[in-house]
Structure 1
C-alpha cells in the first residue's frame, strides 16, 4: 500500500483529474468512487473533497476536458485552407474520428445516463453542439434547417455508437465513414 500524502498542498487538482480520468475511462462512471480515486492517489477521500464537492463535480471536470478536445478539433477544421468548401466533410470526419479514436471518452461524454451528472455535463455538451451547428451553418451553401443539423449530429452519433467496441480505431472503418459522410452532406449542398 502506498503511504498517504503528508499534506493537501501535494494533492493538486491536476493530479486528481489525471487519476479520475484514468478510472472513469477504464471503469465507467458508476464503478468509480471518491474513495477509489483517493486510494490510488494514496490519500484520504476527505482530501479530495477539499478540491471537489462530489464525484459528479469531478466527473464534470474530466468530461469537460474531452469536450474541449473535440471543440479544438472543430476549430482545426475551421482553420484549414479548404474551409468552408470542404468544411462539412471535414467536420463530420472529425466527429467520427474523435468518437472512434477516443471511445471511452466518447461514451462518457454522450452515453452516460445518470441524473447526478446530466445537468452538469449538459452545459459542456450544449456548447460543443452549438459549435458543431455553427460550422455547419457557415459551410452549407444551401439554407440548412435546425432539424437538418440535428439529424446529421444524431446520425453521426449513431455511426460512432454502432462501431464502439467493434473497432479499435477510426482507420478501420474509414471507407464506411466516408460513404456515410457523403450521404449526410446531401441536405447541406446547394440546390
Structure 2
C-alpha cells in the first residue's frame, strides 16, 4: 500500500518536469534515473513505475513538448490575427512566444546536441516543420497569396524564427519584453519571402 501511495503521489508530470530541467542544466549524459529520483526526494525505483529507462522518459518529454507547440499553432487557425498581422505572421509569433515562454522545453526540442538523443528529437522536429509548412500553405491559400506555390519559403521562415528564439532565449527575456522586435522580425521574414516570388 505504501509503494502504491508513493507511485500515485509521484506523477508522470512531476517526474517529467524535474527531468526536463535536469536534462538542460546537466545534459542528458550527466543525469541518471537515480539522480532524478534524488532531485525529487524519492528512490529511483519509484520512477521505474512510470518509465522503464531514461531514454523512454526523455522521449516522453520530447513528444509532450512538441504536442503542446502543435496545439498552440493550430489555435491560430481558429482565431482572427491581431490587427496589422496576417495569419502567417500570427503563426510565427505564436511559435516565437512558445520558445520564449517555455525555454527549457524549447532547448530540449531544438537545441540539445547530444548524439545519443538527437534521433529522438529529429523525428519530432520533422513532424513539427511539416505541421508548420501545412499551416502556412493553408493560410496563404485562403489569402490567394502567390507564395503558396513557392517550395523553399516555409523553411526560411522556420529557420528565421529559430534564430530569433535562439538569440533571445539566452537572456531569459519574456515574450512581452521582446514583442516589438518579434513583430518586426516576423514581418521582415514575411516580406522577404514575398520578394522571393517577385
Tell me the TM-score normalized by structure 2.
0.80
Match of 1:92 in 2: 92
Query: Does structure 1 retain, via aligned residues, the 8 Å contact 2:93–2:186?
Result: yes
Match of 1:132 in 2: 132
Match of 1:19 in 2: 18
Query: Does structure 1 retain, via aligned residues, the 8 Å contact 2:110–2:121?
Result: no
Deviates more, 1:32-41 or 1:15-24: 15-24
Q: What is the CA–CA distance in structure 2 between the aligned matches of 1:180 and 1:47, rounded to whole Å?
A: 46
Match of 2:121 in 1: 121
- In structure 1, list runs of 5 or more residues that go unmatched: none
The Cα shift of 1:188 comes to 4.4
- In structure 2, list runs of 5 or more residues that go unmatched: none
The number of equivalent residue pairs is 186
- In the TM superposition, what whole-angstrom CA distance separates every residue of 1:63-114 from its partner, at most 9, and x where no partner exists? 222111111110111111359x821010111111111121121111100012
- In the TM superposition, what whole-angstrom CA distance separates every residue of 1:11-40 from its partner, at most 9, and x where no partner exists? 243442243234345555344321111123
Query: Helix, strand or coil for the counterpart of 1:52?
Result: coil
Q: What is the CA–CA distance in structure 1 between the aligned matches of 2:26 and 2:2, rounded to whole Å?
A: 28
When the two chains are superposed, the root-mean-square deviation of aligned CA atoms in Å is 2.6
Q: What is the CA–CA distance in structure 2 between the aligned matches of 1:102 and 1:169, rounded to whole Å?
A: 10
Match of 2:156 in 1: 151
Match of 1:168 in 2: 173
Tell me the TM-score normalized by structure 1.
0.83
